[in-house]
Structure 1
């Protein structure tokens, strides 16, 4: 048990210390505001305040964990050895910055509460973030800080038996369009043929015809392949189904289509199913509630996890809406146009609501890479994409974190756009 002395125990302090020590470093932690209790403690201990009590392991505190509300904070980046850091702590501190305040700033997504320029989908853009501007978006710096901190604790308390966590991998699949050509209904199917003819896409027209006549499999129907890979490599695989009404941004099969419902039920026999809330549900609580009920009606079990379509995430409103619907886990924490670690961690964490200054029951699972970001936005080649995936996977392995990937079912279709990506997926999983 690690004892932390501090002059005041706040919800922010309790939250980030529990994440840092319990969830990342596997060290039980308790707090005390009594000097005599701290001095008498024989196990590992640190003090977190403005001034040290003596020669103990001391971290000079920034005011952030003792504040309330949102303030515009001036941040200057420096380095702790070769790792970026901020909130300098002075020479008396055992490390050169307030590692806990900095971790809280990043994980709480404090900067996303501050005024910022949104993109066309009302999202917080990666290039507005502190991590992107200072070149550490592709590093889980909170976890890196924690493991560097652990080495110092081991030196200070060599007799204490420190545990280590294991690397974990989660493959997540977004199903925006379950089928490329099939089960679209008469109107959409005819529209597809006309659109191919008008744009002179005769190869696509031929493939559409063969698929609808059942002479070939629908290219987006890669679910059996994904489940086969899941079984072969024994990896956790989650599917997120979009079942909202048809709009400009939501173009999946109708939720009432019997083939679509049968597909969802069959996948639910082998993998976990989550909700992919539609584009406009972010501003419509009733729409979100209706979509959750639809999916629960299909799989006959409560839906407890989700990921926003188009990664439309507005903090804290989106998370507050999910909590109201008893969603327990969300997998939206990542950027659409860049890979990396939006919250600067590769450890699942609970959402801290800065509006109400409480840790909520909603657990956030940050993903590190997305297929569309690599190919469409970063415009990397297949080889470059695979190298980037493995590079980020190694970053997570170095800190025994949780590596979460985001692919779509069509990514394994081997159509013209995604040729070679089935192999990339397999190499990432292997």
Structure 2
């Protein structure tokens, strides 16, 4: 156990120390404000305060972990080996930066509470983030910092054995609509036919009729393929089905249709299933509650995980709504148009509510790459290189890699050509030893 001496034990301090020490490094941590207790402890120990007591392992503390609410914080990002960090500590500290303060800033999404430019969907843009502006979005910096901290501790406490952590994968399959042509109803099918004719998309029109009359397989129906992949993998896939009402933003299937319900139940026999909340449920608690209850009715079990439509988050309201409905996990944190680590970590963490100053029970699983962003790369070779780069970043710190693919990504549609191969690269990365 690691004992931390500090002048003030705050919720922020306990929250971030537990993420770095326990969730990343696997070491239990406790806190004290009593010098005698600190001196008497004969194992791992550090002091985290303003002044060093003697010659102990000392990290000079930044004020952010002892504050409440939001303040105007000055941040200077500097190079630190092959990575970057902020909140520089100077000479006396055992490590050059206050990694706990910096980690709290990133994990709490402090910057997303501050004034910022949003996109057309009302989302926080990657380009607004400190990580993008200073060129470290592509790294799980918190996990990298944690391992630097571990190395320094190991030098001072060579007899202590740290537990080993393993690299893992959590593949996400997003299902905004399970079918391209099937189960759309008479009016939507007719509208699709008219649209195809006016746009001279005769190939689509031909495929539409072939699928409707059961002469051809629906291109979005890739569930058999994905389930076969699940059977071959030791890592559980997590599906998110949209069951909200049809709207401008969400064009799924009516959840009252028996075939759709049967599909969800069938997938749940092999994989984990969560709720993809509709666009309007993001800001409307009553809609969210209705969708949650509907999914629980289909699954016949309590809903564990959710993911917001269009990866839109309104902090802290979005997460508070999930907490009120006792949803335990969220997979929305990430960027649609950028690869990287929105919260700076590839280790799941609990949402910290900056208004109430508490760690909540909601576990946030931040995703690192979405299939759409790989379309930016023209060649399959470039796509593979980009994907392998982010996988390697996660493997180097034995983190959990979370990619988001869609059911239609595995179709024969031209734009998604080669994506089955990319998915295989992800699954195979879990069979290799960590770097």
Counterpart Cα distance in 1 of 2:415 and 2:135: 30
Q: State the TM-score, normalizing by the size of structure 2.
A: 0.97
1:375-414 pair list within 5 angstroms: 375=375, 378-414=376-412
Q: SS of the residue aligned with 2:422?
A: helix
Q: State the TM-score, normalizing by the size of structure 1.
A: 0.98
Q: SS of the residue aligned with 2:170?
A: strand
Q: CA deviation at 1:233?
A: 2.1
User: Which structure 1 segments of 5+ residues have no match?
Assistant: none
Q: SS of the residue aligned with 1:307?
A: strand
Confirm whether residue 148 of structure 1 aligns to residue 168 of structure 2: no
Q: Is the 8 A contact 1:126 1:132 kept in 2?
A: yes
Q: Is the 8 A contact 2:168 2:398 kept in 1?
A: yes
2:355 match = 355
1:168 match = 168
Q: Is the 8 A contact 1:255 1:261 kept in 2?
A: yes
Q: CA deviation at 1:206?
A: 1.2
Q: SS of the residue aligned with 2:79?
A: strand
Aligned length: 428
Q: Is the 8 A contact 1:336 1:373 kept in 2?
A: yes
Counterpart Cα distance in 2 of 1:421 and 1:195: 28
Q: CA deviation at 1:380?
A: 4.5
Q: CA deviation at 1:82?
A: 2.4
Q: 1:223-262: CA deviations, max 9, x gaps?
A: 1111111111222100001011000110011111111111
Q: SS of the residue aligned with 1:46?
A: strand
1:69 match = 69
Q: Is the 8 A contact 2:230 2:270 kept in 1?
A: no
Of 394, 407, 415, which aligns to 2:413? 415
Q: 1:346 to 1:380 in 2, by over 3 A?
A: farther
1:260 match = 260
Confirm whether residue 314 of structure 1 aligns to residue 314 of structure 2: yes
Of 416, 422, 425, which aligns to 1:424? 422
Q: CA deviation at 1:379?
A: 4.8
Deviating beyond 2 angstroms after TM superposition, the runs of 4 or more aligned structure 1 residues are 378-383
2:433 match = none
Q: 1:325-381: CA deviations, max 9, x gaps?
A: 110000011011101100010000000000100000000001111001221xx4543
Q: CA deviation at 1:25?
A: 0.2
Q: Is the 8 A contact 1:72 1:114 kept in 2?
A: no
1:87-102 pair list within 5 angstroms: 87-102=87-102
Q: CA deviation at 1:202?
A: 0.9
User: Which structure 2 segments of 5+ residues have no match?
Assistant: 429-435
Q: SS of the residue aligned with 1:253?
A: coil
Confirm whether residue 300 of structure 1 aligns to residue 326 of structure 2: no
2:432 match = none
1:325 match = 325
Q: 1:45-98: CA deviations, max 9, x gaps?
A: 111011100111110000000000001211111122222010111111111111
